[in-house]
Amino acid sequence: MQLQSFEPATQALLWSGETGDAASEVAAARAALAEWSAQAVTYRAETLRRFANMVRARDAEFAELIARETGKPLWEAKTEVGAVVGKVEISINAYMERTPQRKQEAAMGAKVAVRHKPHGVLAVLGPYNFPAHLPNGHIVPALLAGNTVVFKPSEKTPAVGAMLVDLYREAGVPEGAVRLLVGGPDEGRALAGEDGIDGLLFTGSARAGQALHRQFADMPHKILALELGGNNPLVVWDAADVTAAATIAVQSAFLSAGQRCTAARRLIVQDGKAADALVREMLRLMDRLIVGEPMDSPQPFMGPVIDNAAADHLQAQFLDLMMKGGRVIRRLDRPQEDRPFLTPSLIDVTDVDNSADEEMFGPVLQLIRVADFDEALAQANDTRFGLAASLVGGSPELYDRFWSEVRAGVINWNKPTNGAPSNAPFGGVGLSGNHRPSAFYAADYCAYPVTSSEAEIARASINEGLRDPNMLED
């Protein structure tokens, strides 16, 4: 059966390939595990450094493919390729820091050793919004720890996934150590259900993450790392520079056409003149944003969402907010009905009582006006998610309170909600993850610690609870 990938911006056929079989890919990864895990970590690290060099050598080709298959502007695709390269050295540093070998002296010349072992065969399910960077953020630390990997890219971005695997192999990663499973949801479910995997690393929607959590509930022997979405709040409060605050809000909400799990979904402001000034400044900037094809010149700020189905769903969600009483400040327009281009939108939902707590994965920002900072915090926490939150403005004391009381795994001050650094942990709470942060902390879920008490000479004695040997009968 063929899987095809189409460019979102033009609807042109970009790539096609045969769907794979999860069982055979897992078997191939299992067969390669012993040899790959037996290699020294220095060998695996050098292999992955060669991979980084391979990506550098083909960076223009890789960036163009990412741009065409996702619809994101070429400039943004280039930053993604840079993140793929940077992930290698960051992962090596993280492995050495998070999973080091340690030995401590114990009594009578013995030692206590702590080492780490790979889990085995790990499945990686990748998303479409960062089809190279996000799965690479699982695959590189998994390979470095000695695991083998079966990678199923999103069915919406298989071409990028295939090129990523080609680059691993060109660098010398054995074919069995990283396997490509092409397919759609059925192949993803089959991979997740394979008895032969020792764990699954997933980046995607909360709904899919919940389904995986239920599926793995009776399998505690398998590692499950979930990196899910967010309904992220951006609070603007007593901002000294309204232009900077507006710019941060626009970046947070509309970068990548809003298709980032850390994108701001809710803008929370104190009702009054300051809020009105912020909205005016945001609208001026939003009207300047170029929405266009990835290769356009001048380069657009944002491209289309991933496909027409996603655009249809976002328009339905926006209409639902309107029907519930949301006041449209800037419409979610679709310039071409047969293309998934959407314009940045802003809707005031202050008076909407039953707004759905969901991730609107596109260029939609909901404005909420509040009376005081207590209410701002309550609104920020009024979600089942807990990925990212940001405060723009306020004093250090106010930020300390914001940091202390907001439920999120990424909390920023005077910075956008998105753009988390790779040299720090990345993850959330609630429906945003299962307490296994990725990025710098990915090393934690790619290997498990083994504690050993060791002595070169066996010595043993039992000091209590024995009968006197002189009292024993012959």
State the pLDDT at residue 250. Answer: 98
d(CA 365, CA 332): 10
CATH superfamily of 232-413: Aldehyde Dehydrogenase; Chain A, domain 2 (3.40.309.10)
Which residue in 130, 370, 414 sits closest to 249, CA to CA? 414
Domain definitions of the chain by residue range:
2-228+433-454, 232-413
Nearest to 416 by CA among 384, 380, 441, 391: 391
Whether 446 is a known active-site residue: answer no
- Quote the pLDDT of residue 195: 96
CATH superfamily of 2-228+433-454: Aldehyde Dehydrogenase; Chain A, domain 1 (3.40.605.10)
pLDDT value of residue 108: 67
- pLDDT more than 70, % of the chain: 100
C-alpha 385/C-alpha 111 separation (Å) is 44
100-128: buried (b, 16+ CB within 10 Å) or exposed (e) per residue?
eeeeeeeeeeeeeeeebebbbbbbbbbbb
Helix (H) or strand (E) holding 124: strand 121-125
- Per-residue model confidence (pLDDT) at position 299: 97
Active site residue 261: yes
- Residue with more model confidence, 268 or 459: 268
pLDDT in tens, 199-220: 999 999 999 999 999 999 999 9
Average pLDDT over residues 365-378: 98
d(CA 60, CA 224): 34
- pLDDT above 70: residue 462: yes
pTM for this prediction: 0.95
Catalytic-labelled residue, pool 7, 25, 194, 227: 227
The pLDDT of residue 468 is above 70:
yes
What is the number of other CB atoms lying within 10 angstroms of the CB of residue 441?
18
- Considering the candidates 261, 293, 359, 446, report the single residue annotated as catalytic: 261
Measured between alpha carbons, how far is 29 from 25 in angstroms, rounded to an integer?
6
